[in-house]
């Protein structure tokens, strides 16, 4: 299946204001579909400093020039500066994305709070955070969200069950190789998972001789051969929507030359035979280039 779904994580206030409009224009020029996943509450990026204690985090920071891509002001939000409310301040930008014909969905309410806590939190905490995001999405768009894609690929079983209660048919909260139905610890299942199948730019730039000059070629090599389920690629408004936009332009052109249709998660899911998706557990594990554990497809 020569389909490649573009999943755009929007983590910050700056990424929403500056990266999202540039990505919309770029995608329109290339005739590409995509799904934009928004952080809908306060930008507390500065609080992510607590991750400095994780193995590999500082190495990743030094490889990917976090200050250059995010900016000093963003790195102070939630600590020395109050975190701007993205959903409130940027609502016109979010609605413009939907008006341009792109699918939108929930990334999270408070990105740092979710990413740093949800894996070990209670069902009650999880539901409160997801309810805040759901209500804000309704406030901004006036319609119910069709998908959820977790911040930092961080989930727990209560979050998967909430997606099922929301009657979502698909989500993209995990990393893996092909679509599947997640089986939870209690034996219940949730909506189909469309996992990210390719590494992100910040995971591979600075490793194995890969830099900003050849990273597009490295990813295009991974997508050269046809696969039964195509691919899901996660990009970030803070990276591909700003300083790394030229790399994303190379990827878009390269994927089209390889014969891919560049689509939203909705179109990707619609092309699947959902009745034949395998049931698999989601485990916590590590992947090269990213610090800490995240939700992984067990196979």
- CATH number of the domain enclosing 165: 3.20.20.370
State mean pLDDT over 132-146: 98
77-101 pLDDT per residue, tens: 777 788 999 999 999 999 999 999 9
Q: Which residue has the tokens 């594990």?
A: 285
Strand partners, 3: 261
- Give the residue numbers spanning the domain of 250: 3-297
DSSP 82: P
- What does R_g of the chain's alpha carbons equal in angstroms? 18
- Which pLDDT band, with edges at 50, 70 and 90, does 63 fall under? very low
Task: State pLDDT tens for residues 160-189.
Answer: 999 999 999 999 999 999 999 999 999 999
Report the number of distinct structural domains present in the chain. 1
User: What does the pLDDT read at residue 66?
Assistant: 66
30 with 262: CB under 8 angstroms? Answer: yes
Between the alpha carbon of residue 18 and those of residues 21, 28, 74, 148, 201, the distances in Å are 6, 16, 13, 23, 19
Q: Are 251 and 259 in contact (CB under 8 A)?
A: no
């Amino acid at each position: 299946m020569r389909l490649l779904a573009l999943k755009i994580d929007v983590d910050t206030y700056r990424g929403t204001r500056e990266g999202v409009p540039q990505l919309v224009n770029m995608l329109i020029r290339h005739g590409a579909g995509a799904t934009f996943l928004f952080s809908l509450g306060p930008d507390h990026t500065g609080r992510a400093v607590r991750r400095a204690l994780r193995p590999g985090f500082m190495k990743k920071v030094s490889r990917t020039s976090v200050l250059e891509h995010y900016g000093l002001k963003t790195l102070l939000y939630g600590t020395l500066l109050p975190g701007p409310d993205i959903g409130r301040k940027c609502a016109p930008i979010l609605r413009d994305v939907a008006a341009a014909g792109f699918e939108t969905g929930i990334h999270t309410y408070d990105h740092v709070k979710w990413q740093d806590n949800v894996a070990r939190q209670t069902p009650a905490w999880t539901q409160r955070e997801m309810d805040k995001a759901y209500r804000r999405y309704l406030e901004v768009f006036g319609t119910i969200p069709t998908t959820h894609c977790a911040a930092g690929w961080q989930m727990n079983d209560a979050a998967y069950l909430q997606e099922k209660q929301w009657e979502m048919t698909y989500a993209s909260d995990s990393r893996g190789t092909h679509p599947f139905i997640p089986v939870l610890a209690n034996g219940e299942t949730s909506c189909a998972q469309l996992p990210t199948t390719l590494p992100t730019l910040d995971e591979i730039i600075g490793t194995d001789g890969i830099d900003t000059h050849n990273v597009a070629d490295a990813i295009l090599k991974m997508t050269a051969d046809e696969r039964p389920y195509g691919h899901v690629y996660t990009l970030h408004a803070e990276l591909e929507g700003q300083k790394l936009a030229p790399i994303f332009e190379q990827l878009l052109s390269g994927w089209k030359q390889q014969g891919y249709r560049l689509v939203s998660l909705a179109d990707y899911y619609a092309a699947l035979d959902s009745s034949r998706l395998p049931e698999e557990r989601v485990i916590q594990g590590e992947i090269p280039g990213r610090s800490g554990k995240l939700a992984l497809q067990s196979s």
